[in-house]
Amino acid sequence: MTGNEPNTHPQPGSSPNVPAPQEAVTRGRFAMQVLWPSFLVAVPCVGIFFSAVTPGELTVVHDYLDGSAKGAYTLGFLLAWVGLAASSALTYILAHRPR
């Protein structure tokens, strides 16, 4: 060691698995631009769906949820949110492609 080597030691208190600050901001922005709009649209979608269909009419409620209406509402909301989040994520990815 001559003393001219670059400092390869991590900063105190830092972790090698923690993303850089700009990368963390980008990931957070991506999550909010995908999850928040999909959440806001899932609420009225589920409301409209369950105003037309009662949970008792759905076979999945009797087979897997033991007739629980709350379970049907929860599952319906989560499925709508995941589907809409996938749509929002695809839109985000296609709109933010590197040129």
19-65 pLDDT, tens digit each? 567 888 888 888 898 999 999 999 999 999 999 998 888 887 888 88
Question: Percentage of the chain with pLDDT > 90?
Answer: 37
- Smallest CA-to-CA distance from 55 within 42, 43, 72 is with 72
- Residue 94 and residue 32 in contact, taking contact as beta carbons nearer than 8 Å: no
| 47/73 Cα distance (integer angstroms) | 9
Q: Is the model's pLDDT at 8 over the cut of 60?
A: no
pTM greater than 0.85:
no
